[in-house]
Amino acid sequence: MVNTKQVITAIAIMLVVDILGFSPALSFATGSSNTIAASLSVPNTCIPDVSNTAITFPITQPGGFANTANVVTVTNFGNAASNVLVSGTSWVAGANTFGVTNTLWSATSGANIGTQLTGSAVDTKIVTNSGASNSIYFGVNVPVSQAAGTYSQTITISTSC
Amino acid sequence: MRRTKSLFPILSLLLFYMLFNTPHAQLGEFAGHIVFNVTLGQSETLDQWTIFNSGNSPVTYNVIAPSITINKVAGLSANNRTAPIMIITPSTGTLQPRQNQVLNITVYMPAKNNTGGLSWEAIPQIVTVTNNTNPGGAVVQVGVAKIISINAVNPEPDYALYAFAAIIIIIIIGGALYMKNRMPKPSRRAARAVARGTGRASASSSRAGKVAVRKKAQHAKKATRHTTKAASRTAVKTTSRTTAKKRRGARKGSAPSSRRRSAAGRQNR
């Protein structure tokens, strides 16, 4: 049987040898480790999503208007706050057209009240925070004596951060 | 009843699978304001706009070119300015799920009608391309946009050009001085002719030249007069000295003549 004194002496010798660096095997035995520095850069982002990809306005006679009550909800799935911008194209029905500015947008639902849509992007000043949603309401003024037809346009909603 | 209970976990898993594997594409962008400081007549390219697809299906995107509007700058008129030109590449493409795309934006600043200190704003958009149609209504497309500021900067002075011009001027001046030193000096005769007032026509034709010639002639006359007076004075002095000597000789007897004679006799010997 190995007594306690011998065990302690053996451990002491191993430690001294290890400290002096004579034996790599002992270094392994004491559990030395390698460190790898890892870095990760997470940028601020904004990821927009809209509730619906189409707005169907009610039938509107020439000179009449569809109220600014047709809603699109914008959600920001990014981690940074973003501004909502809007733009659009002219209304087209075959050869008949009328201007993009006949479409109105507003941050609030209401009657025929709002800001004219334009061909270039305009900052609505509506701020959508990370994970939050905001609504934009659209309406249309149909020009007097506008030819009958089924008109369509494209509205672009984008976010900037 | 037991069968329904045993199907419940399977149905739950199926529901989760459908929920997380429904194809959806979501276009996103990295945050950050982009500012261009472009020298007049030059262009600048920045690659600071990164877009990405955060969905699990490919997304095809399209760039909508911006209309560039001038900002009102204090002290500078915004009328009749030439707007910068912006080009974004690639203007279209497809992003795979979890893929990033860095867009290059190049802005050219026309020098015509523009000056340093003017600024413009441009908002390009990138939208997801869809084939949706909606007769009798509006198609809504979603995208990302970037508000970009463009500042016009005056070009910096070209110091190398200035140094080159200075060297050329120094060479010209040095050459002129060297040639002047190498030119033959006017002859004495020509100088005298000028002094007499009969010099070159160019020298005496102008009023200043005529005055100079007249002064020189007067100076020469004065000099001649002085010389004549001095000569007459010298002559008078010499005469008076000779007379004085003769008188002294006459007073002392014939000593000077005897001396002369003895000197002549010494020479003859």
Q: Domain ranges for chain B, please list them.
A: 24-129+141-153, 188-246
> Which chain B residues touch A87 with a CB distance below 8 Å?
64, 125
Question: Cα(B33)–Cα(A9) distance, rounded to whole angstroms?
Answer: 69
Q: State pLDDT tens for residues A104-153.
A: 999 999 877 899 999 999 999 999 999 999 999 999 999 999 999 999 99
Residues A63 and A28 in one domain: no
Contact present, A89 and A102 (Cβ < 8 Å): no
Are A153 and B147 a contacting pair at CB < 8 A? no
Residues A131 and A56 in one domain: yes
Reported ipTM exceeds the 0.85 cut: no
Say whether pLDDT at B256 is over 50: no
Residues A77 and A26 in one domain: no
Question: Cα(A98)–Cα(B60) distance, rounded to whole angstroms?
Answer: 29
Residue spans of beta strands (DSSP E) within B98-238: 100-108, 119-122, 125-128, 137-145, 148-153
Contact present, A161 and B31 (Cβ < 8 Å): yes
Task: For A122, list phi and psi in degrees, rounded to 5.
Answer: -125, 135
Question: Cα(B135)–Cα(A57) distance, rounded to whole angstroms?
Answer: 10
Q: In what order do the strands lie in the sheet with B27-30?
A: A45-46, B27-30, B43-53, B100-108, B85-89
What does the block give as tokens for A54? 């189409």
Kindly state whether A119 is in contact with chain B, defined as any CB-CB distance less than 8 angstroms: yes
Span of A14-28, A113-127, B39-53, B55-69 with lowest mean pLDDT: A14-28
> Which chain B residues touch A139 with a CB distance below 8 Å?
none
| Structure-model confidence comparison of residues B118 and B242, the more confident one | B118
Residues A29 and A76 in one domain: no
Say whether pLDDT at A156 is over 80: yes
Q: Cα torsion at B60, B61, B62, B65 (round to 10°)?
A: 180
Question: Cα(B253)–Cα(B242) distance, rounded to whole angstroms?
Answer: 16
Are A155 and B145 a contacting pair at CB < 8 A? no
pTM as predicted: 0.64
Residues A56 and A135 in one domain: yes
Considering the segment(s) B24-129+141-153 as one domain, its CATH architecture is Sandwich (2.60)
Kindly state whether A69 is in contact with chain B, defined as any CB-CB distance less than 8 angstroms: no
Q: How many domains does chain A fold into?
A: 2
Question: Cα(A61)–Cα(A145) distance, rounded to whole angstroms?
Answer: 9
Give bridge partners of residue B117 from the DSSP assignment: none
CA distances, B121 to each of B211, B232, B240 (Å): 73, 101, 111
B242 contact partners, CB below 8 Å, separation of at least 6: none
Length of chain A in residues, anyone? 161
**pLDDT for position B199:** 47
Helix B188-196 / helix B207-252 crossing angle, nearest 10 deg: 100
Residues A69 and A105 in one domain: yes
- Could you identify the residue written with the tokens 């927009």? A48
Length of chain B in residues, anyone? 269
Residue B57 is given by DSSP the state S
Q: pLDDT class for B158, splitting at 50, 70, 90? A: confident
Are A54 and B140 a contacting pair at CB < 8 A? yes
Q: Percent of chain A having pLDDT more than 90? A: 74
Domain extent at residue A8: 1-39
Residues A76 and A152 in one domain: yes
Residues A90 and A24 in one domain: no
> Which chain A residues touch B31 with a CB distance below 8 Å?
43-46, 78, 80, 82, 161
Residues A128 and A77 in one domain: yes
* Interface probe with A: pick from B22, B29, B59, most Cβ of A within 10 Å: B29
Q: Angle at Cα B51 formed by Cα B45 and Cα B56, nearest 5°? A: 155
Residues A9 and A56 in one domain: no
Rg (CA), chain A: 34
| Structure-model confidence comparison of residues B93 and B226, the more confident one | B93
Q: pLDDT class for A102, splitting at 50, 70, 90? A: very high
Are B125 and A85 a contacting pair at CB < 8 A? yes
| Structure-model confidence comparison of residues A11 and B102, the more confident one | B102
DSSP-H helix ranges across chain A:
4-20, 24-30
Question: Cα(B44)–Cα(B87) distance, rounded to whole angstroms?
Answer: 11
Span of A37-41, B4-8, B53-57 with lowest mean pLDDT: B4-8
Contact present, A154 and A137 (Cβ < 8 Å): no
Looking at the complex, report in whole angstroms how far the Cα of residue B139 sits from the nearest Cα belonging to chain A.
Answer: 4
Spatial CA neighbour of B61 closest among B24, B87, B107, B25: B25
Residues A76 and A141 in one domain: yes
